[in-house]
């Protein structure tokens, strides 16, 4: 096996093949090789959740996943959440929720929160505030105190219901 | 650095043997932070996630086998965790949802971080880690397995393949109590308790097991002389207090920058009482008896 390997993932519905060095995390591959920068880098050690990514629909911190492990798998980043099946672009209800409730201040943590929230609502479309707190524990926001973020997720959950 | 994804255990062991400094990676939740912070720089990573048959939870009425590649989230979803409060408590205390989605039980145990939440629960269940070294399998009593900070009995080319334990009797109760400075962070005090009431009278404690993390260089089963304080009578509040104080004396806390040893001792006192009283409440024994006046 060479020092650089080719990896193929289905990124946001589109098959992508790229080269990656051993031990490079999935996040760096997404940002540097595939040039999608919605997956943020911040803490580097799996504490902040800014790099949250769905691998086969499961939320993981992509700074802690070797890119090799995503080979052959479906990967969804924040860029892949909006519905572009028609000509336009319909934002995901969670994205709408963050806009409607202004669930952000500086916005750096927002993509991570959005991705985690999408995964949570897939599992549990009507979470209580306590369930939200537990599920979103892996995402840190240093601006908002979280209240507006939970409001945003609640707003999105109402769209899921109705 | 090389990256290998062997398709069999034997192949994985061969890879580990042929490279001077090789590290096993599974869920990545412990290994990747070390790599990213430059704390380790191995010549090769041996990714064992493609090794078959290591991702099953097999539970009978008597015995439980958890494959090394079972993630914490998969373990939480297994029926086993609905039955075993102690195990469920401890797994729920680990990190957060995405960490549990990727982190594996074999990886956690092998990493041997002294603050990990699951080892104390496994030690109370008298669990063993099963490993393969290319020639055969070995069983390691988890109460003896951890030698020092991040150091285990494992040889460099030895791979943990699973965790095994016998189910405690249905009348037993277990709990894990822990505290963290920040949600999702490492535990600053964590203690697991399992109490078994007498099958005949339903209240005399006949077996008590305690173990803690974040209080010593290793996750540690509490010495027998402390556990046995709980055995032989119905558990009362005075005895629980006595046990909590004895555990505080057993701790090997380091007076580190930014760490308050007295506060940590206080946390261990509180968590010990919480773990034992919760375990008792979940057992068939009556709740905690007040000390006789």
User: Considering only CB atoms, which chain B residues are within 8 Å of A63?
Assistant: 32, 36
Q: How many CB atoms lie within 10 A of CB B256?
A: 8
pLDDT at A162 over 60: no
- Residue B31's H or E segment, with its range, is helix B31-36
Buried b (16+ CB within 10 A) or exposed e, B2-40: bbbbbeebebbbbbbeebeebbbbbbbbbbbbbbbeeee
Q: Over the stretch B125-135, which tens digit does the pLDDT of each residue have?
A: 999 999 999 99
Q: What number of other Cβ atoms are within 10 A of residue B185's Cβ?
A: 13
When CB atoms are compared, the residue of B5, B73, B98 closest to A49 is: B98
Among residues B90, B40, B81, the alpha carbon closest in space to that of B59 is found at B81
- The pLDDT, as a whole number, for residue B292 is 61
Is residue B246 exposed (0-12), middle (13-18) or buried (19+ Cβ within 10 Å)? middle
What is the distance between the alpha carbons of residues A151 and B162, in angstroms, rounded to a whole number?
42
**Interchain contact, B2 vs A52, CB within 8 Å:** no
Residues of chain A in contact with residue B35, where contact means CB-CB under 8 angstroms, are 23
How many pairs of residues across A and B have Cβ atoms under 8 Å apart? 85
Look at residue B184 in the predicted model and tell me its pLDDT: 84
Q: What are the C-alpha distances in Å from B185 to residues A48, B92, B181?
A: 11, 12, 7
pLDDT, residue A2, reads: 47
Contact list, A65 vs chain B (CB under 8 Å): 28, 32, 102
Tens of pLDDT, residue by residue over A141-152, are 999 889 999 999
- Which single residue is written with the structure tokens 């929160």? A113
Question: Cβ(B3)–Cβ(B44) under 8 Å?
Answer: yes
- How many other β-carbons are positioned within 10 Å of the β-carbon of residue A5? 18
Q: Answer for the pair B16, B157: CB distance below 8 angstroms, yes or no.
A: yes
Option in A22, A45, A120 nearest B45 (CB): A22
Please indicate whether, in this complex, the C-beta atoms of A61 and B99 are within 8 angstroms of each other.
yes
User: Can you give the pLDDT at residue A3?
Assistant: 58
Q: What pLDDT is recorded for position A161? A: 61
**CA B221, B95, B161, A1 torsion-angle sign:** negative
| Residue B293 pLDDT level (bands cut at 50, 70, 90) | low
Q: What is the pLDDT of residues A102-135, one digit of tens each?
A: 999 999 999 999 999 999 999 999 999 999 999 9
Q: Is the pLDDT of residue A138 over 80?
A: yes
pLDDT surpasses 70 at A96: yes
DSSP 8-state class, residue A25: B
Neighbours of B251 (CB within 10 A): 16
pLDDT in tens, B195-233: 999 999 999 999 999 999 999 999 999 999 999 999 999
Handedness of CA B200, B202, B205, B208 (dihedral sign): positive
Could you give the CA distance from residue B192 to residue B278 in angstroms, rounded to a whole number? 10
Q: Is there a contact between A116 and B184 if contact means CB atoms under 8 Å apart?
A: no
Q: Say yes or no for a CB contact (<8 Å) between B95 and A138.
A: yes
Task: Examine the pLDDT at A56 and tell me if it is beyond 90.
Answer: yes
Tell me which residue has tokens 């806009």: A99
**Contacts of residue A103, Cβ cutoff 8 Å, sequence gap at least 6:** A97, A110, A113, A144, A148, A149, A151, A152, A153
Using one digit for the tens of pLDDT, what is the confidence trace for B25-71?
A: 999 999 999 998 899 999 999 999 999 999 999 999 999 999 999 99
Q: pLDDT tens, B241-276?
A: 999 999 999 999 987 777 789 999 999 999 999 999
Is residue B180 a contact partner of residue B174, using CB atoms and an 8 Å limit?
no
Determine, for residues B95 and A49 on separate chains, whether the beta-carbon distance falls below 8 Å: no
Phi and psi, residue B29, nearest 5° = -70, -20
Q: What is the ipTM of this complex?
A: 0.95
Residues on chain A touching B101 (C-beta within 8 angstroms): 58-60
Disruptive mutation site among A2, A39, A46 for chain B (greatest number of B CBs within 10 Å): A46
Compute the average pLDDT of residues A20-38: 95
- The answer to whether B101 contacts A58, with C-beta atoms less than 8 Å apart, is yes
Give chain B's mean pLDDT.
Answer: 95
Q: Are B193 and B174 in contact (CB under 8 A)?
A: yes
Inter-chain contact A1–B4, Cβ cutoff 8 Å?
yes
**H/E element, B122:** helix B118-124
- Contact yes or no for A116 and B183 at CB 8 A: no
C-alpha A43, offset from chain centre: 15
Asked whether the predicted pLDDT for residue A1 surpasses 50, the reply is: no
Is A88's pLDDT higher than 90?
no
Report which of B266, B264, B219 is spatially closest to residue B245, judged by C-alpha positions.
Answer: B266
Q: Which among B201, B250, B259 has a CA at the least distance from the CA of B226?
A: B250
Please count the residues of chain A.
Answer: 162
Burial grade of B121 (CB within 10 A; 0-12, 13-18, 19 or more): buried
């Amino acid at each position: 096996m060479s020092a650089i390997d080719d990896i193929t993932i289905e990124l946001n519905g589109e098959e992508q093949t790229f080269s990656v060095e051993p031990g490079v995390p999935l996040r760096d591959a997404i940002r540097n090789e595939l040039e999608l920068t919605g997956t943020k880098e911040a803490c580097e050690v799996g504490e902040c959740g800014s790099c949250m990514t769905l691998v086969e629909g499961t939320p993981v911190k992509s700074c802690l996943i070797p890119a090799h492990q995503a080979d052959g798998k479906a990967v969804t980043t924040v860029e892949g959440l909006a519905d572009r099946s028609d000509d336009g672009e319909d934002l995901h209800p969670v994205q709408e929720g963050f806009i409607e409730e202004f669930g952000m201040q500086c916005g750096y943590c927002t993509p991570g929160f959005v991705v985690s929230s999408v995964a949570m609502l897939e599992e549990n479309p009507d979470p209580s505030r306590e369930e939200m707190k537990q599920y979103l524990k892996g995402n840190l926001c240093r601006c908002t105190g979280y209240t507006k973020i939970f409001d945003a997720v609640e707003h999105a959950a109402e769209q899921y219901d109705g | 650095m090389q990256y290998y994804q062997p398709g069999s255990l034997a192949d994985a062991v061969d890879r580990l043997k042929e490279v001077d400094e090789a590290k096993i990676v599974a869920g990545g939740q412990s290994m990747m932070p070390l790599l990213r912070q430059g704390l380790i720089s191995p010549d090769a990573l041996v990714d064992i996630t493609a090794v078959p048959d290591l991702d099953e939870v097999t539970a009978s009425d008597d015995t439980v086998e958890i494959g090394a590649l079972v993630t914490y989230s998969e373990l939480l979803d297994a029926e086993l965790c609905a039955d075993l409060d102690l195990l469920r408590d401890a797994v729920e205390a680990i990190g957060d949802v995405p960490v549990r989605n990727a982190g594996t039980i074999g990886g956690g145990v092998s990493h041997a971080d002294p603050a990990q939440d699951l080892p104390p629960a496994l030690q109370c269940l008298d669990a063993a880690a099963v490993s393969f070294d290319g020639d055969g399998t070995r069983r390691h009593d988890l109460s003896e397995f951890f030698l020092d900070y991040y150091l285990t009995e494992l040889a460099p080319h030895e791979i943990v393949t699973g965790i095994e334990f016998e189910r405690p009797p249905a009348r037993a109760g277990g709990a894990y109590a822990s505290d963290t400075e920040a949600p999702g962070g490492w535990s600053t005090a964590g203690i697991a308790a399992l109490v078994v009431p007498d099958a005949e009278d339903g209240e005399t404690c006949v077996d008590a097991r305690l173990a803690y993390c974040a209080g010593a260089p290793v996750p540690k089963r509490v010495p027998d002389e402390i556990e046995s304080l709980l055995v032989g009578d119905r558990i009362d509040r005075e005895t629980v207090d006595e046990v909590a104080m004895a555990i505080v004396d057993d701790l090997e806390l380091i007076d580190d920058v930014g760490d308050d040893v007295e506060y940590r001792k206080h946390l261990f006192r509180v968590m010990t009482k919480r773990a034992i009283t919760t375990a008792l409440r979940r057992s068939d024994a009556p709740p905690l008896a007040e000390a006789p006046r």
